[in-house]
Structure 1
Amino acid sequence: MNLRRLKYFVKIVDIGSLTQAAEVLHIAQPALSQQVATLEGEMDQQLLIRTRRGVTPTEAGKLLYAHARTILRMCDQAQLAVNNVGQSLSGPVSIGLAPGTASSSVTMPLLQTVRAELPDVQIYLHENSGGQLNDKLLNGQLDMAVLYDRAPTAGIISQPLRKESLFVVGTQGNPGPSVDLTQVAQMNLLLPRDYSAVRRRVDEAFSLRRLTAKIAGEIESISTLTAAIASGMGVTVLPESAARLLMGAAGGWMSRITSPTLTLPLSLNLSARLPLSPQAQAVKEILMSRVTRPPLESRELMLVG
């Protein structure tokens, strides 16, 4: 087993096609197939299932893929560390963002700060569901992820950042600065699917109060949700930072849910196996300084108090 074969294998799994992977890697397909066969011989396991639609990894292939991503990432980090000796930090840093996280309100300040303080570092932002982000952390595809995470995940280190209250956002029938959960139960709700941390928290609260939510629709896209709220189709529930952004975009109102007050913990998730590169560690410190700041309204309340 060598690094070149591991790189070939990872690229094949990522693309899902030997033919397309051969084109990307600039290698003849028979030669690439031979590399896979050699790797399977070394592993004494079938790693890929070949079909007319392409290739998919076997269970052994999935396991090797996860380890290969880790190995290749550590080799890249070693190369960067050696190259960066005596020089300013440089290289890529990948950050995952769950839709609706407070990180959406700090993305531009983060990029601006990194550009000013770490001009040779390139930031890659990836938005996906919390479960998908954790998988990418485990596979070495992300350096870190900011998400609302309530459940521990094997192989993941979660650093708590802060808790955010949940708010209702709408454009019709403003209930005022706060709204009781029983009132929310009477509203047409536009919420994400049930694997979302926000949706799970809302469903849990309704269940504990023996209330039934009026789900008018399930929407994942923030742009579509904004348009739906702006049109008056219903209301949604979001953590404070995301609620403030959507309220401004839709030209509506936001009300804190009370009786009971609902909150979600915001976490910075990291792989327990992979150490951060020097540039990723520097970006992490900048990110944490941004995300751990209270939302704007909370800061204003503290100043007034």
Structure 2
Amino acid sequence: MDTRRLYSFIKIIDAGSITRAADILHIAQPALSQQLSALEAQFGQQLVIRSKRGVAPTDAGRALYRHAQLILRQMDLAQAAVAVSGRAPAGGVSVGLAPYSLGAALALPLLKSVRERYPDILLHINENFGGVISEAIMTGRMDMAFIYGAGPLRGVQFEPLRTEDLFLIGAPGGAAPPGEGDVSLEELKDVPLLLPSRIHTIRQVVDAALQQASLRPNVVGEVESALTLVNAVAADLGATVLPWSAARAILDVRSLSVRRIVNPVIQVKLSLVTSDNQPLSEPALAVHDLFLEHITAFDGSPDEE
């Protein structure tokens, strides 16, 4: 198997066009077409459907695309392992973090500790939604991630680490309801809420809890950007719902009303996920262990502030 053909095949699928892929790879289009034909002959399957608009993978093509990514990822790991054998861990490690999670509080400490202990590891931190991150791990484009949920999901191994309560957070005397201490779920029905969209776990959990109580959330804005959420809550445009760990990482909680939601308590689960199909590289294992150290040391209780 010529791995160059696999790399070219991935580029063809990503570009959706042999012509565009040839431009990206800086090779002649006829030569790239020959590589594709050679792959189809080798596997005895049509891998793409050609049309005037470009190319699209067949079922066989999608299967090869997934495996080609894993194969090339393993080749990169093998080359990195051989290059640094006998030395401190080195190479690239990709870590995914769910937005509005404990990951927001752990990102900088993790980056700092990797720089101090393993200066030859290049840490790549990607904040994205769980579904996107899980797919990246399954295809070998990401080593590990800290996301909401506890599985199961085919191709991904979940390591449940924390369960966190959700808090209502807003400007006192404004979007947040009056009073101190815990706030009941019933009181949320009149609060203008700034929440992520429905593909986010926090939104799904809040919606499910309110629906079970026959209540309708008063969502006044769907915000995916942490910076926008910070500014919107500070401007009293609405209150939000977050775990305490995420709230204190991105918001000035000392100037805000922070009240645990009760009757019932609403919780989210967080897990460290890795691929179920391929082992972690040596540098990824080192980062994995550092991540666990930080999670264990983290105190998620607002009472300790």
Q: Report what 2:201 is aligned to.
A: 197
Structure 1 residue identity aligned to 2:228? T
Distance 1:137 1:239 in 2: 25
> Deviation string for 1:176-209 (max 9, x for gaps)?
2321111112101121122211111111211222
Distance 1:89 1:230 in 2: 43
Distance 1:246 1:253 in 2: 14
Task: Give the C-alpha shift of residue 68 in structure 1.
Answer: 0.9
Matched, 1:256 2:260: yes
After superposition, the Cα gap between the structure-2 partners of 1:231 and 1:299, relative to the gap in structure 1 and judged at 3 Å, is closer
> Helix, strand or coil: the match of 2:224?
coil
Distance 1:201 1:260 in 2: 12
Task: Give the C-alpha shift of residue 250 in structure 1.
Answer: 10
Structure 2 residue identity aligned to 1:195? I
Structure 2 residue identity aligned to 1:12? I
Structure 1 residue identity aligned to 2:296? T
Using the size of structure 1 for normalisation, the TM-score is: 0.92
Distance 1:52 1:237 in 2: 48
Task: Give the C-alpha shift of residue 231 in structure 1.
Answer: 2.0
Q: Report what 1:266 is aligned to.
A: 270
Matched, 1:157 2:157: yes
Q: Report what 1:170 is aligned to.
A: 170
Deviates most, 45-54 or 271-280: 45-54
Select 1:287's aligned residue among 287, 291, 300: 291
Deviates most, 132-141 or 189-198: 189-198
After superposition, the Cα gap between the structure-2 partners of 1:179 and 1:24, relative to the gap in structure 1 and judged at 3 Å, is same
After superposition, the Cα gap between the structure-2 partners of 1:50 and 1:168, relative to the gap in structure 1 and judged at 3 Å, is farther
Length, aligned pairs only? 301
Percent identity, aligned pairs only, is 42
8 A contact 2:158–2:271 mirrored in 1: yes
> Helix, strand or coil: the match of 1:211?
coil
Distance 1:53 1:290 in 2: 49
Matched, 1:34 2:34: yes
**Residue segments in structure 1 that go unaligned for 5+ positions in a row:** none
Structure 2 residue identity aligned to 1:77? L
Task: Give the C-alpha shift of residue 59 in structure 1.
Answer: 2.3
After superposition, the Cα gap between the structure-2 partners of 1:162 and 1:33, relative to the gap in structure 1 and judged at 3 Å, is same
Structure 2 residue identity aligned to 1:123? L
Matched, 1:215 2:192: no
8 A contact 1:191–1:219 mirrored in 2: yes
> Deviation string for 1:156-179 (max 9, x for gaps)?
110011111111111242442321
Distance 1:252 1:48 in 2: 55
After superposition, the Cα gap between the structure-2 partners of 1:176 and 1:49, relative to the gap in structure 1 and judged at 3 Å, is farther
Distance 2:254 2:133 in 1: 28
> Deviation string for 1:213-239 (max 9, x for gaps)?
112222222222222222222111112
1:38-53 paired onto structure 2 within 5 Å: 38-53=38-53
Matched, 1:188 2:192: yes
Distance 1:272 1:285 in 2: 18
Structure 2 residue identity aligned to 1:102? L
1:53-64 paired onto structure 2 within 5 Å: 53-64=53-64
8 A contact 1:247–1:254 mirrored in 2: no
> Helix, strand or coil: the match of 2:99?
coil
Deviates most, 81-90 or 104-113: 81-90
Matched, 1:225 2:229: yes
Q: Report what 1:240 is aligned to.
A: 244
Q: Report what 2:137 is aligned to.
A: 137
Task: Give the C-alpha shift of residue 84 in structure 1.
Answer: 1.6
Q: Report what 2:66 is aligned to.
A: 66
Q: Report what 1:78 is aligned to.
A: 78
8 A contact 2:162–2:270 mirrored in 1: yes
